[in-house]
Amino acid sequence: MRVTVLSGAGMSAESGVPTFRDVETGLWAKVDPYEISSSDGWRRHPEKVWAWYLWRHYMMKSVGPNDGHRAVAAWQDGAEVHVVTQNVDDLHERAGSGQVHHVHGSLFSFRCDRCGVPYDGPLPAMPEPVESVDPPQCRCGGLIRPDVVWFGEPLPSDQWDRSVEAVSRADVAVVVGTSAVVYPAAGLPDLALAHGIPVIEVNPEETPLSDRVTLSLRETSATALPGLLQRLPALLG
Ligand code: BV8
Ligand code: ZN
């Protein structure tokens, strides 16, 4: 069986990683996640954007995959599993998933925002979150940025193409922990439905997808995913 998982920030919530929505209440209440994750935000105040990403990069060292990530990795024992994730963390990989497509990039690689050369130089230590840190400079005079996709930027075509293929070839798609508002990623469940592929949503809250998917489970990812594949025949009838 071919399973394609479409995951968002809710997948990492039970690992202690704030979602974009939590960000409005938690640690970063005073920043607008949509503004700080945009190319305009980077142009306006790169030091604030750099501090946010550096903190999120460091925070990943203190968290680990949860039962949801581990369940998706375990599904590989009996199925062909592709993970298409909007998340920039590495928790799916750390849980053991082999086919992970990051449509919005990653916190773990950096590049120059002018000449594009990859940066693997030293990163300043960040024991606790600070509001502003000057990003390193490239020899060309450009600034070092995270390899994430900001609002207003195109998605990496190789990751996107592999994601569209993984959705189009799936026997079932499982959409987990996403508010389904950011395009084009939010259009992938509809692509599955258009191919007649059953789509199961796992989210404790309703989303714009909920009334379109085959089945919407009001459960958290760490609760629903461990037994989900075994439940599929009964759930899909
Ligand atoms: C592009 C990376 C074109 C950085 C992110 C007007 C209309 C339509 C579209 C647009 C428009 N204006 C602009 C656009 C396009 C725009 C867009 O869609 N905007 C939206 C806001 C309307 N999209 C773009 O700009 C994209 N690029 O279109 O380029 C182009 C083409 C050619 C040339 C130039 C340009 C780029 C979008 C990528 C932005 N980058 N992330 C980073 O991570 O820092 S987006 C970021 O937010 C995430 O990656 C994710 O995609 C998005 C939403 O986050 P979610 O993952 O859904 O998480 P969220 O917090 O929102 O929700 C959590 C969910 O989990 C909730 O539903 C909650 O109930 C649930 N949950 C909570 N706990 C649990 C749980 N679920 C399960 N278990 C739990 N325990
Ligand atoms: Zn450069």
DSSP 6-36: EE-THHHHTTT---HHHHTTSTTTTS-HHHH
Query: Is this prediction's pTM over 0.75?
Result: yes
Q: Measure 140 CA to ligand 2 centroid, in angstroms.
A: 4
Give the number of the atom of ligand 1 that is nearest the alpha carbon of residue 56: 44
Domains of the chain, by residue range, sit at 1-17+64-104+155-237, 19-62+107-148
* 131 labeled binding residue: no
* C-alpha 40 chain-centroid distance: 21
Show which residues are catalytic.
104
How confident is the prediction along the chain (237 residues), in pLDDT tens digits per residue?
999 999 999 999 999 998 877 766 555 666 788 888 999 999 999 999 999 999 999 999 999 999 999 999 999 999 999 999 999 999 999 999 999 999 999 999 999 999 999 999 999 888 788 889 999 999 999 999 999 999 999 999 999 999 999 999 999 999 999 999 999 999 999 999 999 999 999 999 999 999 999 999 999 999 999 999 999 888 888
Q: Which fold has domain 1-17+64-104+155-237?
A: Rossmann fold (3.40.50)
For ligand 1, residues with CB inside 6 Å are 8-10, 13-14, 19-21, 37, 86, 88, 104, 148-154, 176-179, 181-183, 185, 202-205, 207, 220-221
- Could you confirm whether domain 19-62+107-148 is CATH 3.40.718.10? no
Provide the 3-class DSSP secondary structure of residue 84.
strand
